[in-house]
Amino acid sequence: MYELVKKITRNKLVGTFSAILYMTMPYHLNDMYIRNAFGEYLSFIFIPLVFLGMYNLFHKEKGHWILTLGAVRPNNYT
């Protein structure tokens, strides 16, 4: 989230604030501390990667491979 917002706004402080706000949203905290769903909490890492990859792709910047990294993640069927 930090990298995405920093690239869009060109402001490191706004990027830091948005990353902190994103990871401390009530649903994320509920996953982490009440439900003990740490895997689901970690899966929210991939959502900003998809948007960052799409941003890079549409603005013809390097790093559009991040879209692949965010969209194609291994599934755990255990």
pLDDT tens-place string over residues 25-78: 888 888 778 888 877 777 788 888 888 888 988 888 887 777 777 777 666 554
Tell me which of 12 and 24 has the higher pLDDT.
12
pLDDT at site 6: 94
The pLDDT, as a whole number, for residue 49 is 86
Structural domain spans, the chain: 2-71
Residue 74 has a pLDDT of 61
Phi, psi of 42 (to 5 degrees): -70, -25
Mean pLDDT across 1-11: 92
CA-closest candidate to residue 17, choices 5, 34, 35: 5
Q: Are 26 and 39 in contact (CB under 8 A)?
A: no
